[in-house]
Amino acid sequence: MCGIVGYIGNKEAYPILIKGLKRLEYRGYDSAGVALISKEHQLNVYKTKGRVSDLESFVTQKDISGNIGIAHTRWATHGEPCSINAHPHYSTSETLALIHNGIIENYAVLKEKLQAKGYLFKSSTDTEVLVQLIEYIKTTNHFDLLSAVQLALGEVIGAYAIAVLEKDHPNEIIAARKSSPLVIGIGEDEFFLASDATPIVEYTDRVVYLEDEEIAVIRRDEELKVVNLSNVETIPAVIRVKLNLGQLEKGGYPHFMLKEIFEQPGCITDCMRGRINLDKNNVVLSAVIDHKEKLLRAKRFIIVACGTSWHAALIGKHLIESFCRIPVEVEYASEFRYRDPVIDADDVVIAISQSGETADTLAAVELAKSRGAFIYGICNAIGSSIPRATHTGSYIHVGPEIGVASTKAFTGQVTVLTMLALTLAREKQTLSEPAFLAILQELGNIPAKMKEVMALNDQIAELAKIFTYAHNFIYLGRGYSYPVALEGALKLKEISYIHAEGYPAAEMKHGPIALIDAKMPVVVIATHNGLYEKVISNIQEIKARKGKVIAIVTKGDTIIRQIADCCIELPETLECLDSLLTTIPLQLLAYHIAVCKGMDVDQPRNLAKSVTVE
Ligand code: M6R
């Protein structure tokens, strides 16, 4: 994870770097730092524990001049969060400064080698090894910075996106990537670099996404040059990115998470735009048109994902199996990549990722590709690594998700999975036409029904106040609602630090029921679908043990109202689309409990938005 940003041009670098770091703070926020080369050729490095705002306070009274610089916001992997471990790291002579996102896996061996040669290390990071190694290669061989970086990266095992400054070369930044994202922005007489395009779009829409093992040579008054580790030059592919700056701001909401929850009706409309035509009763995904044969021939689908995206994958399994009669396996990407999975050329692997950068999901994609599977990506971040590594895919088009707790990406992923299942089902004729039409028309009604759910915000905020006492929560659901229960529990854990578990409701009696007492809040998804009566029995079992039941029910439900402690009533929908509505009250409940407890909702402890390390 970590966010990196850089600037070279005619403007003062510091304000651009700080603004960029704030846009990237979702990637990590335990320490931050900046390196600037001043007009007097001083290479000034300032860094501190804490947020970007702490860095701003730290540099008051310091020389922050210069129109070239690099900056970093950290999510600690090696070495605790503290100012010494914060980036940028100086080389021993303090003539080089380097920022890094990723992990240098062989750092211990390299460190020992450098220590034996007299290099002194200040931090406990893997990153410091890299800057020292570059300096060592540079000075012993009398190389320029580019050649030293090329040689050093050849010795490194692991993942990196780096940027390096050299004190005596105030007109050059050398940047490189392998398995960690890096984007170069090309402006008028200026260049930007960043972990994603969000710090750049304010200044230019022309960007280059570096590929693995590519090095960008960014020099003032010269064209951008891209070479590989062997110095073979490639012509950088400049693409135009479109990002609405308003989407990167809170827009009057107290937190990004709340804004993103409320955006969901609009996001789902955007996600369906140009894909669903309700007048013509049609759903079209261009990826399915382009790769129809491959997808229809699939004997099996395997979905790989992590976290919330994995929960969406579980819903995708239900949808694809029930609409298309194709077997679907759902795997944690982190487990899949290190097993020796049985994959063949008739398998379609679907990779789901909001950020498109999750290291485990990307590695799972590469593994499946190497075994001959056809890979379909479902991602949000346009141009990110996973969509570029897959054969085809569908973006969810929900706009940038900044809050660390994923919300609108989940409903966007479920919407794309529903459209995918519907498209394939129609081609395979595995769903009757009336059933297909009913689902399609109801999918079109979901944004309006989501708006009705948003109107419950105040009720849920009041409810949240009652449950801030809890140290544990249980979430229960069956069928399509089981993944929603998992997702509700994850949301609560992430932002309120309350321990929560999600279970299939019927599993409760096989163990978790022992946890129920008068203090235990149990959120039960009990809409008027499928296994409704059975869920009522599960609620009775909880009440018999005095548990506190918060039931998510269908509007007008009179039966559960008599048993549960509180009910949240949702508009009626089809069972297969239920999760698009039931997940929202759980997002709001987690949000309000966290706010009541005074937690940092958008930047919860220990987490980062984009998990680009294993
Ligand atoms: O970007 P991805 O969808 O690949 O991210 C996967 C998980 O890291 C992510 O969903 C994580 O679990 C969220 N913090 C959940 O809110």
Residue 533: HSE in the Cβ half-sphere, 13 Å Cα cutoff:
0
Residue closest by Cα to atom 4 of ligand 1: 353
Q: Ligand 1, residues 180, 354, 382: which to mutate, most atoms within 8 A of Cβ?
A: 354
* Distance between Cα 423 and ligand 1 center (Å): 26
* Distance between Cα 218 and ligand 1 center (Å): 32
Alpha-carbon gap, residue 400 to 248, rounded angstroms: 7
Architecture of domain 250-453: 3-Layer(aba) Sandwich (3.40)
Lay out the sheet containing 499-504: strands in order across. Answer: 499-504, 472-477, 521-525, 548-554, 566-570
Residue closest by Cα to atom 12 of ligand 1: 307
Alpha-carbon gap, residue 324 to 439, rounded angstroms: 14
pLDDT value, residue 352: 98
Candidate list 138, 178, 449, 609, residue with the active-site label: 609
Residue closest by Cα to atom 8 of ligand 1: 307
pLDDT value, residue 542: 94
Domain 3-243 has CATH 3.90.1300.10: no
Tokens of 526: 């009990």
SS (H, E, C) 12-70: CHHHHHHHHHHHHHHHCCCEEEEEEECCCCCEEEEEEECCHHHHHHHCCCCCCCCCEEE
Question: Amino acid identity, residue 130?
Answer: L
- Condensed to tens digits (0 to 9), the pLDDT of residues 304-332 reads 999 999 999 999 999 999 999 999 999 99
Q: Ligand 1, residues 357, 365, 413, 611: which to mutate, most atoms within 8 A of Cβ?
A: 611
pLDDT value, residue 75: 86
* Distance between Cα 354 and ligand 1 center (Å): 7
Residues 424-442, mean pLDDT to the nearest whole number: 96
pLDDT value, residue 610: 76
- Condensed to tens digits (0 to 9), the pLDDT of residues 55-83 reads 999 999 999 999 999 999 998 888 888 99
Quick one: which H or E segment has residue 208? strand 206-209
pLDDT value, residue 27: 84
Alpha-carbon gap, residue 334 to 329, rounded angstroms: 15
Tokens of 404: 């660390």
Question: Amino acid identity, residue 297?
Answer: R
* Distance between Cα 148 and ligand 1 center (Å): 36
SS3 420: helix
DSSP string, 487-537: HHHHHHHHHH--EEEEEEGGGGGGTGGGG--TT-EEEEE--SSTTHHHHHH
Q: Residue 609's pLDDT band (boundaries 50, 70, 90)? A: confident
Q: Which residues lie with the beta carbon below 6 Å from any ligand 1 atom?
A: 306-309, 353-355, 358, 361, 404-406, 490, 494, 607, 611
Residue closest by Cα to atom 9 of ligand 1: 307
Residue 121: HSE in the Cβ half-sphere, 13 Å Cα cutoff:
23
pLDDT value, residue 244: 76
In which residue ranges of the chain is CATH 3.60.20.10 found?
3-243
pLDDT value, residue 297: 93
Alpha-carbon gap, residue 222 to 216, rounded angstroms: 12
Mean of pLDDT over the chain: 94
The minimum-distance atom of ligand 1 relative to the CA of 386 is 4
- The CATH class for the domain spanning 457-596 reads alpha beta
* Distance between Cα 126 and ligand 1 center (Å): 25
* Distance between Cα 497 and ligand 1 center (Å): 17
The whole-model pTM stands at 0.82
pLDDT value, residue 383: 81
Tokens of 484: 């929603």
The minimum-distance atom of ligand 1 relative to the CA of 609 is 14
How many other β-carbons are positioned within 10 Å of the β-carbon of residue 206?
16
> Residue 251, exposed/middle/buried by CB under 10 A (0-12, 13-18, 19+)?
exposed
Q: Residue 384's pLDDT band (boundaries 50, 70, 90)? A: confident
In which residue ranges of the chain is CATH 3.40.50.10490 found?
250-453, 457-596
609 is catalytic: yes
Tokens of 296: 């229809």
pLDDT greater than 90 at residue 407: yes
pLDDT value, residue 417: 98
